[in-house]
Amino acid sequence: MPVEIDIEHVARLARLELTPEEMERLRAQLRLILEHAAKVGEVATAEVPPTAWAIPRVNVLRPDEPTPSMPVEEVLANAPEVEEDRFKVPRIVEVE
Amino acid sequence: MTELCDRSASELAELLRRGETSSVEVTRACLARMDALEPHLNAYLTRTDDLALEQAARADERIGAGDAPAVAGIPLALKDVLSTRGVRTTCGSRILETYVPPFDCTPWARLAEAGSVLLGKTNCDEFAMGSSNENSAFGPVRNPFDLERVPGGSSGGSAAAVAAGEAVWALGTDTGGSVRQPAALCGVVGLKPTYGLVSRYGLIAFASSLDTVGTFTRSVRDAAVLLQAIAGKAPMDATSLPDPVPDYVAALTGDVRRLRVGVISEAFGEGVQPAVAAGVRAAVDRLADLGADVGEVSLPQTDYALSAYYLIAPSEASSNLARYDGVRYGLRVEGRDSVEMMARTRGAGFGPEVKRRIMLGTYALSAGYYEAYYGQAQKVRTLIIRDYEAAFARYDVLVSPTSPTTAFRLGEKVDDPLAMYLSDVFTIPANLAGVPAISVPVGLDEAGLPIGLQLTAPVLREDLLLRVADALERELALDLRPPLVAA
């Protein structure tokens, strides 16, 4: 099954800036890998249920006991930019 | 005489208990070995010499007072995807080059509490994605048995450090073979426990449904001791298993009589190096000599496991790695708005393999393709589990080579992702099914490179796995030190 991939669209979804060379290389490599991976369709019939976790657990609960949070300065210590106990980011409206 | 840093943890614990050496002496021996070999191996990304000596001195006090757990005073290395409070943790990536975690991962927290000594953080493939360690942003690790060859991956630094006496033992992580394959290629013991037996809290996530923390040791007994110290339910990880943890050292009886050993037929076909197949077959014969009942078993879906893995792991990775957005930690490359900042940060911070997997996973999860790829792969996962269930109805443990070949040359597979992925073909199924597996060295090939044999057991039967591996290790009585160290 030949695979056509809209690399620019996928990169946009992944929030990943790629150079034109990277896009070309990925287009070829992903096609090869996906053609190989598409083999899963040969054996996965409708009757087979999917597995998300090999060792399933249901409703894992622990006692709801409040404990102190991490100090704010430790949480912010690795941040590239901070303002008044908050992570600072550039404007969030996309510039066209 | 064997230097302190080349001894097993169990031997050292005995010397420490009898007062014949100290943790400080053992730690100094490891640090001296690092001074001598790091220029060649590049196994460490961060050294914690001062911390190690401090912890060693405290361990000596505890040992002197007669209050010391089995792991106390034994110098350890941690793969650099395991969070350590106050010690830089990079995941082998530029995007986390300066990241200093504000908390410890659970396995290290438990070891630290028990008096363990941290030598440093080991090099690895970026975000644990790779089979050769060539995907580290900080240069490849070299194999102590041949510096022109790879140590395997992704936990290559941990494997090389233990093989070369730069650590007595180490922790790594195994998502598709990242403990077992480098253990095989470096001639040490590598154990991947049952999914959930060891808490993943503080293990920086790659593929959450497959990730496990595993051990690198010089003996199977050491693997039992180290696993004992890190196994068991932990409150911060909902997937950690509540089951009681058995006494793993007590399981090392040396007795494998009447134990049913199934040799996986699919694991000796095309692409397997003849010396690897022969070495593994010969070791199986020794198990038969010891009284095990050996037979052949088929895992018919083996071919599809690799395909399923290369959809499931990248899909989970693409989601997990969304957190590296230049906001809370790590690299930031400025842009006109937040979206451009994130895209530029990620484009500059991630290496080629990580980008490849993020793109693969994003595509496989995207609208219109989810069912054909991710959905189908999850069904294959069910079939893999059924394969194991059928096999374990007839056999107690399963045997295969750990990896199809011994250590390959640096650069040999860098440009061919599919060929690289194939080096995990025998290790991936255990991650998909959650079952435990161990790699033990069984000899050298014609070039003097280590061959690893993999044993696989049912869920939570680490006791069985360790018992068979230990019996085999005793029977083979190998001394697989790399020439670099033996000289």
For the record, the structure tokens of A60 come out as: 């894992």
Closest CA to B185 of B486, B477, B447, B471: B447
Three-state DSSP state, B260: strand
Q: How far is CA B441 from the centre of its chain?
A: 14
DSSP code, position B198: B
CATH assignment of the domain containing A10? 1.10.20.60
Beta bridge partners of B295: B262
Q: Distance (Å) from the C-alpha of residue B422 to the closest C-alpha of chain A?
A: 12
Q: For residue A31, is it within any domain?
A: yes
Q: What is the total count of domains within chain B? A: 3
What is the spatial distance between Cα B357 and Cα A35, in angstroms, rounded to a whole number? 15
Q: Are B379 and A40 in contact (CB under 8 A)?
A: yes
Q: Which helix (H) or strand (E) holds B136?
A: none
Closest CA to B292 of B327, B262, B247: B262
Based on the domain organization, do B288 and B307 belong to the same domain? no
Q: Which of A41-45, B203-207, B243-247 has the lowest mean pLDDT?
A: A41-45
> How many Cα atoms sit within 13 Å of B49 on the Cβ side?
8
Based on the domain organization, do B426 and B469 belong to the same domain? yes
Based on the domain organization, do B62 and B171 belong to the same domain? yes
pLDDT tens for each residue of B175-187: 999 999 999 999 9
Does residue B192 have an active-site annotation? no
Q: For residue A67, is it within any domain?
A: no
Say yes or no for a CB contact (<8 Å) between A29 and B326: no
State phi, psi for B106 to the nearest 5 degrees. -60, -45
Q: Distance (Å) from the C-alpha of residue B284 to the closest C-alpha of chain A?
A: 29
Beta bridge partners of A96: none
Q: Are B438 and B223 in contact (CB under 8 A)?
A: yes
Q: Which residues of B163-182 are buried (b: 16+ CB within 10 A; e: fewer)?
A: bbbbbbbbbbbbbbbbbbbb
pLDDT score at B487 = 58
Question: What ipTM was predicted for this assembly?
Answer: 0.94
CATH assignment of the domain containing B46? 3.90.1300.10
Q: Distance (Å) from the C-alpha of residue B282 to the closest C-alpha of chain A?
A: 33
Show the domain range for B473: 4-259+403-486
pLDDT tens for each residue of B33-81: 999 999 999 999 999 999 999 999 999 999 999 989 999 999 999 999 9
Angle between helices B220-230 and B462-476 (to 10 degrees): 160
pLDDT at residue B8 above 70? yes
Say yes or no for a CB contact (<8 Å) between B434 and A78: no
Region for residue B9 given its phi and psi (left: phi exceeds 0; alpha: psi -120 to 50; beta: otherwise): alpha
Q: What is the total count of domains within chain A? A: 1
pLDDT score at B64 = 96
pLDDT tens for each residue of B450-487: 999 999 999 999 999 999 999 999 999 998 999 988 75
Say yes or no for a CB contact (<8 Å) between A51 and B327: no
Chains A and B: how many Cβ contacts under 8 Å?
189
Q: Distance (Å) from the C-alpha of residue A26 to the closest C-alpha of chain B?
A: 7
Based on the domain organization, do B38 and B176 belong to the same domain? yes
Based on the domain organization, do B129 and B77 belong to the same domain? yes
Q: For residue B398, is it within any domain?
A: no
pLDDT at residue A3 above 80? no
Q: Distance (Å) from the C-alpha of residue A32 to the closest C-alpha of chain B?
A: 8
Chain B residues closer than 8 Å to A36 by CB = 306-307, 310, 418
Based on the domain organization, do B107 and B82 belong to the same domain? yes
Average pLDDT over residues B133-151: 98
Does residue B23 have an active-site annotation? no
Higher per-residue confidence, A3 vs B337? B337
Based on the domain organization, do B81 and B193 belong to the same domain? yes
- Indicate the residue among B317, B345, B378 that finishes a domain: B378
What is the spatial distance between Cα B314 and Cα B320, in angstroms, rounded to a whole number? 10
Nearest by CB to residue B347, choosing from A16, A38, A40, is A16
- Indicate the residue among B369, B392, B415 that finishes a domain: B392
Based on the domain organization, do B150 and B270 belong to the same domain? no
- Indicate the residue among B352, B370, B392 that finishes a domain: B392
DSSP code, position B470: H
User: If pLDDT is split at 50, 70 and 90, which confidence band does B350 have?
Assistant: very high
Show the domain range for A30: 1-44
Closest CA to A78 of B202, B341, B98, B338: B98
Nearest by CB to residue B434, choosing from A17, A54, A70, is A54
Between the CA atoms of A47, A50, A54 and A60, what dihedral angle is there, to the nearest 10 degrees? -120
Nearest by CB to residue A60, choosing from B100, B238, B307, is B238
Chain A residues closer than 8 Å to B329 by CB = 78-80
From the candidates B22, B83, B136, B154, which is the catalytic residue?
B154
Please name the residues in contact with B417: beta carbons below 8 A apart, sequence gap of 6 or more. Answer: A29, A32, A33, B353, B356
Q: Are A34 and B360 in contact (CB under 8 A)?
A: yes
Q: Which helix (H) or strand (E) holds A79?
A: none
Q: Which chain B residue's Cα is nearest to A11?
A: B359
Three-state DSSP state, B174: strand
Beta bridge partners of B143: B146
Question: Which of B211, B379, B413 is the best residue to mutate to test the A interface, defined by the most A CB atoms within 10 Å of its own CB?
Answer: B379
Three-state DSSP state, B117: strand
CA distances B62 to B21, B39, B77, B124, B376, Å, are: 14, 34, 21, 33, 54
Say yes or no for a CB contact (<8 Å) between A33 and B418: yes
Please name the residues in contact with A88: beta carbons below 8 A apart, sequence gap of 6 or more. Answer: A79, A81, A82
Does residue B178 have an active-site annotation? yes
Say yes or no for a CB contact (<8 Å) between A80 and B459: no
Q: What is the mean pLDDT of chain B?
A: 96
Chain A residues closer than 8 Å to B306 by CB = 36
Say yes or no for a CB contact (<8 Å) between B241 and A51: no
